[in-house]
Amino acid sequence: MDEVFDVVVAGAGPVGLMLACELRLAGVDVVVLERLPEIDRTLKAGAVNVPTAQAFDRRGLLPQLLVRQEAALERMRAFAGAPIGSSDRPPIGGHFAGIMLPFGVVDVEDPVFVDAGPAGRAVLVNQQGIEEILGARAAELGVVVRRGVELTEFVDDGRGVTVTCGDARIRGSWLVGCDGGRSTVRKLAGFEFPGLDPEITGRQAVVEMTGTEGLRPGWHDTEHGIYVYGPTPGRFLTVELDGPPADRDAPITADELQAGLRRVTGEPVRITAVHSATRFTDNTRQVPDYRRGRVLLAGDAAHVHSPFGGQGLNLGIGDAVNLGWKLAAVVTGRMGEELLDTYTAERHPIGAWVLDWTRAQVALMRLDRRSKALRAVMRELLGTTDGATTVYKRIAGVLHRYDLGGDHDLVGAVVPERDLSDGSRVSEHFAAGSGVLFDFADSTDLRAAARPWQDRVRIVTAKPLDPVSASALLARPDGYVAWAGTDDRQGLVPALRRWFGGA
């Protein structure tokens, strides 16, 4: 055996890097294998949702997000030739099937947005920016990342996994496939991948072109499809609803991009250079279980869908944040393998929701008269504060929660962000990757109950400056509330045992 690690991660995209960082933060030896020699610069997701920003905030990475958001806004201002947004909040919260959701219509004072804290304002960061931040974080933590190395086969013998990469073999206790929608790990492990076949052809590119005078910035539906122009120079997207591409793997040429853009817009554009281009469909599939033996899946390896709304990046980051601390607890012997059953139980329903959400958007983009009539109705609804706020809550991810049992309404939700009496914020207490008991009532009984878990759970007694609907909260390392109550310790000890093992 050439090398031995606790965990082998296939794929150094955002999901693989986030997972590796979470594992390493918990003291796990992890290696990341990536077939590409460097970050893929192809244009992909252009924004993150609130849970992703909160996850970065909990690990001290929010400032990096805000810096990159301001740089993105500067590029948008250059394209528009006018002031757009600010570092405090971009002008657009997102879209549903290309129908814009301006922040001016959304009720941003809704309590769920207030509870997100400053992370709720860090949304305009693209996938390459996320990879760069996580790459630097991985290097800082000492994660071993091997680029230009492709996993070709593996053997799961029930005690661990032996991975083959060319002439080299690597042994790991666990293998996690974060290697994208065409995952080699998923295929070799024999995961089922049911779902719906595609019906659209989408193309997204950054190009140099002429004849753009008739193109309007933003999203627009025409008689032949949908197109997007901007919000940065040379960027466009087209959607044609006459079936999937004949050859998804064929190289994307300037002629193909030009022809598609002309068909959809009717404008005589001429593409003279291609800097980035990708082809996509609305293929939607999801594995029934995210674990098979010693092999787990995360991100697009576990679920694929159309890219509308940038949900894929965020869904994958959520998988990594949920799995990381759990797999680390199993690897280090603090918890049994049954903890990993909660990974599928918690993440699969959110993945299924995202798939249906993207399917609904494709249905609303169809070109028949009934669909166009429905689109007009939806546009009117999204022009109202109630309609826009409801949809934005969904695409922002602030309503995502897990069924963890318990009677309190905070259990299963992300811990509310608050400024605390010692000058800190709630999220800052998660930087080390441990659980946190917030004892807002300064209860000696609660602290005594939690003391046996102090090597895994940090105890914070600072009080919130704004009210929280519980006098004490136990939060898991991923920021989700596992127990909430008063200074009565009832229920706290069972929650500590359930999520952090024996005392």
Give the mean pLDDT of 442-455. Answer: 93
Give the mean pLDDT of 292-299. Answer: 98
Task: Report whether 303 contacts 178 (CB < 8 A).
Answer: no
State the DSSP string of 286-324: E-S-SEETTEEE-GGGTEE---GGGHHHHHHHHHHHHHH
What pTM was estimated for this model as a whole?
0.94
The rounded distance, in Å, linking the Cα atoms of 227 and 503 is 58
E strand or H helix at 201? strand 201-210
Confidence class of residue 89 from pLDDT cuts 50, 70 and 90?
low
pLDDT above 80 for 91: no
Give the mean pLDDT of 257-269. Answer: 96
Range in 103-117, 130-144, 253-267, 453-467 the model is least confident about? 103-117
CATH tag, 1-41+134-186+296-305+320-352: 3.50.50.60
pLDDT above 60 for 88: no
pLDDT above 80 for 93: no
| Whole-number pLDDT of residue 206 | 94
| Whole-number pLDDT of residue 90 | 62
Percent of the chain whose pLDDT exceeds 70? 96
Range in 12-26, 80-94, 190-204, 430-444 the model is least confident about? 80-94
Mean pLDDT, rounded, of the chain: 92
Give the mean pLDDT of 42-59. Answer: 90
Give the mean pLDDT of 291-300. Answer: 98
**What ranges do the domains of the chain cover?**
1-41+134-186+296-305+320-352, 45-126+366-400, 201-281, 413-500
232 compared with 131, residue with greater pLDDT: 131
| Whole-number pLDDT of residue 289 | 98
95 compared with 24, residue with greater pLDDT: 24
Tens of pLDDT, residue by residue over 324-363, are 999 999 999 999 999 999 999 999 999 999 999 999 999 9
Residue 10 makes CB contacts below 8 A (sequence gap 6+) with 16, 32, 33, 151, 163, 175, 176, 177, 178, 179, 183, 184, 185
Tens of pLDDT, residue by residue over 358-409, are 999 999 999 999 999 999 999 999 999 999 999 999 989 999 999 999 889 9
Confidence class of residue 232 from pLDDT cuts 50, 70 and 90?
confident
Q: What is the topology classification, in CATH, of domain 201-281?
A: Alpha-Beta Plaits (3.30.70)
The rounded distance, in Å, linking the Cα atoms of 76 and 82 is 9
| Whole-number pLDDT of residue 124 | 84
The beta-carbon contacts of 68-72 under 8 Å, at least 24 apart in sequence, are 68/125, 68/126, 68/129, 68/133, 69/122, 69/123, 69/124, 69/125, 72/46, 72/124, 72/125, 72/126, 72/129, 72/232
The rounded distance, in Å, linking the Cα atoms of 88 and 69 is 10
CATH tag, 413-500: 3.40.30.120
**Going by DSSP bridges, is the β-strand pair 218-222/457-460 parallel, antiparallel, or unpaired?**
unpaired
Intrachain domains 1-41+134-186+296-305+320-352 and 201-281 with the same fold: no
Tabulate helix, strand, coil % of the chain (nearest 5). 35, 25, 40
**Residues 230-251 as b or e (16 or more Cβ within 10 Å = b):** bbbebbbbbbbbeebbeeeeee
Give the mean pLDDT of 9-25. Answer: 98
Give the mean pLDDT of 426-431. Answer: 98
| Whole-number pLDDT of residue 2 | 81
Confidence class of residue 87 from pLDDT cuts 50, 70 and 90?
very low
The rounded distance, in Å, linking the Cα atoms of 484 and 495 is 10
